[in-house]
Structures are given as structure tokens and as C-alpha cells.
Chains A and B, each alone.
Chain A
């Protein structure tokens, strides 16, 4: 094709999707580590939250490193969502007449949840930021200035814990297919053995992340973590 550019293809969009997704994998792993500090008690959890704001000082201003990370995450989110929207629209236009009957032989369930699961995660992220970062919403109406107490107050409410568990199931499914898919898109799975390895890594990572995040809300609801 005359004037064809590699960077203008659907595969280039997929590469951006994979790279921006990789940023989130790193982020959720660190985030999960911070959350698990809740098991070490009130002071350890709050100290971690406080230390995040002091990271890089005195080389960086107060909250400097945190804002660099935030900007990076926002950029990755914009890229990830933009590519998803473009590819979703393309896929819809590629088959405007639907099959009367279509089976999904060879597909795992998680792979078919990527788009609506992604929308679910986006809505969850908005609520989650309102809950703990931007708005600081205490659904029990209590104080919001103490991160540990706000967390305990939130997950003491059973339906909030359920909401977070559902979101973690969605995240687990998204990562289960997403991590393997990113490896494939980056061209790392050129043999059957490498493909199997990537699928195993994806499954194990997704399991660790979704279980790791779910432990804290469940422990609060069970009364193991208290104020």
C-alpha cells in the first residue's frame, strides 16, 4: 500500500494498549502491597500513606513523586481507553450483520469480558477515587482525615465490601486475559511453550492481585481488622 505507516495500523494501537496496560500491572502490585499494610495495624498503614507524599524529598517537593506517578497513570489511562474505544468501534464495524447462531469455541470467558469488564473497572476507579482520594466519602458519615479509619469505616459496610469484591473479580478477569494478551501483542509468545508460560503467568498474577486486594475488605468485614 502506498504510504502505509506501521505506526498507523491496528497493531500499533494494540502495542499502545499493551504498554499502557503494563503500567497498570506495576501500579496495582505496588498498591496491593500498600493495602496489605492494614494487617500491620493503624500506624503502619497511615505511615505508608504519609510516606508516599514524602517520597523523593528533599530532591522533589512535597507530594512531588506522587504527582509524577499520578500524571503517568492518567496518561496511561487516556491511552488505554482511547485505543480500546477505537478498536471496539472497528470490531463493531467489521461485522454489522450478526450471526443467528455463534459459539465461542476456543475462547476463555475472561477474554470476552475485556470491553464491558473494562468499562466496569473504569466506573469502579471513578468511585474508588471519590471514596478514598478526591472526595474522601465516608459512607458511615464519620471522619475522613485518617486513611486507616476511613478504610475500616468503608469495609465495615457489607455492601461496600461486596462492591469492592465484585470490582476485584472484574480486575482479576481483566488481568487473566490482559496479561497474556499483552505478551502476545508484544511478540513474546512465538512458540507453544512460551504461549503456555505467558498464560500461566497471567493466571497466577491475576489470582495474586485479585485475592491480595480482597483480603483487606474481607478482613474488615470479618472483624479481623478493626479501628
Chain B
């Protein structure tokens, strides 16, 4: 495959960036998208140019590190992570536009790399369960209905990649928060901190500069883990309940 790549280049967080065009020949359809970028970077290295910076880690679709806006879709045309996207999803001679996640809460550090620290700060506000340290309790002492356990597990598959924010026309992180709030809210261990969790996480979300949700649904279409829109309903319900409880 021969490709034309239009890629965002930006030397650092403070310098303005621009789209650059590269030609890449002999791309195998079996390559992953990131392997294709690796080949392009080898070519750039040989030409003495600065290689393109992009994030990746596990390259197995489970860590949430990679994430690129490819032809206007977060993680590209398939429902998966960028690392699990393969070049067979594109056609020979295609022009592919590659941009970083665009969100003012995710500042660009270099080229295609963004700082997703805002997600960590939201999690620090309640995306966990406080437990006393010591010996682990007997697992069977806290029964969890099977349906709840399954649903909690499904929404806990969120890898925090940020595709929901990148896809959202409002730049909202509601799907991310909804996944966490739903996951912990379904389990008995999540109950004591339930009200504070939702209020603090949403307050931090707003403080980071993410937008409000308007239930458009582009987030869930982009999510590589297929987190459903239901979790945002749960997030809203938990916040409404917290208001009722006087938080």
C-alpha cells in the first residue's frame, strides 16, 4: 500500500503546530497503525528529520496509552484502540489525517502526545474504594448479585484512553466518569463513599475544563471498550441523589 499521511507536528507544548504531509510506500496491510508510524519514523530518521512523537505502551489494546484522531474518528474507523487498528482498514492510495486528541484539558506535549493527567486527578477525587489495610477479608463474606458483578466488570474495562473526550463535540469526560461511578456504585464496597465520589469527581471534571454532556453519543461510538451511554444516566442519577442527600 502507498499512503499519503497528513500528521500534526508540534515541537513542544508552547510552540504552535501545523499539519505536515508525508508519503509512505510499501505499507503492509497486516501492519498495525502504530507499526506503520514506526516505519515512517525510521524513514524520517534516515532523512535526518525529527521522528513523530506518539504514545504507546502495551500495543495489545489494554493499557489505554495509545490514542490518535485518525480521519476524524477517535482510534480510527474500527471500534478498537489505535494499536489494534490495522492497515487493512484503509485502502491503497488513501490520504490519512492524523491528529492528537483535541481537548484543552489534555494539552499537547509534542506532536501527537497529549497530557491526560486530568483523568488521573479525576480518579484521585473518588475513583477508588478506601479500605483498611491488613489481611484480605474472606471473599464470600460480601455477596454480589451475578448481574451486578457482570455489569460492574463490563464498565470497569474502561482503560482511560480519552477517546470519549476526543470524540465529544463538547469535550466532555462524562463517559469516563460514568464508567467509574457505575462500576463502583454497583458493588457493596462502593456504597459508603458513593455520594462524595460523584460530587468530587464531577467537580474536578468541571475544574479541569471539560465540557458538559449533551447526550449526543459520539463518545460511546468511539469507545474501544464499548462502554454504553447508560453509564452517563447512572452518573446523572448518582449526582441527583447526592443533591437530595444534601451534598
Contacts and interface: CB of A to CB of B under 8 A. Distances in A.
B106 to A, nearest CB: 10
Interface string B94-111: 000101001111000000
Contacts of A200: none
4 cross-chain pairs, A with B, having the tightest CB-CB distances, nearest first: A106-B221, A187-B237, A94-B171, A4-B203
Contacts of A149: none
A74 interface: no
Interface residues of A, number: 49
Of the four ranges (under 10, 10 to 19, 20 to 34, 35 or more), the interface on chain B belongs to 35 or more
B230 to A, nearest CB: 5
Interface string A93-112: 11111111111111110011
Nearest to A183: B233
Interface of A: 1, 4-15, 87, 90-91, 93-108, 111-112, 114, 177, 180-181, 184-192, 194-195
A190 B236 CA distance: 10
Nearest to B108: A97
Nearest to A8: B203
A178 B120 CA distance: 32
B227 to A, nearest CB: 12
B222 A106 contact: yes
B214 A114 contact: yes
User: Which of B204, B215, B219, B237 has the most chain A CB within a 10 Å cutoff?
Assistant: B215
B200 interface: yes
A180 B238 CA distance: 18
Which of A6, A14, A185 counts the most B-chain CB atoms under 10 A from its CB?
A6
B211 interface: yes
A13 B212 contact: yes
A119 B234 CA distance: 30
B19 A100 contact: yes
Interface in B223-247: 228-230, 232-240, 242-243, 247
Nearest to A111: B216
A94 B99 CA distance: 17
A9 B212 CA distance: 9
A107 B233 contact: no
Given A99-B72, A103-B73, A195-B230, A94 B209 contact: yes
B211 A87 contact: yes
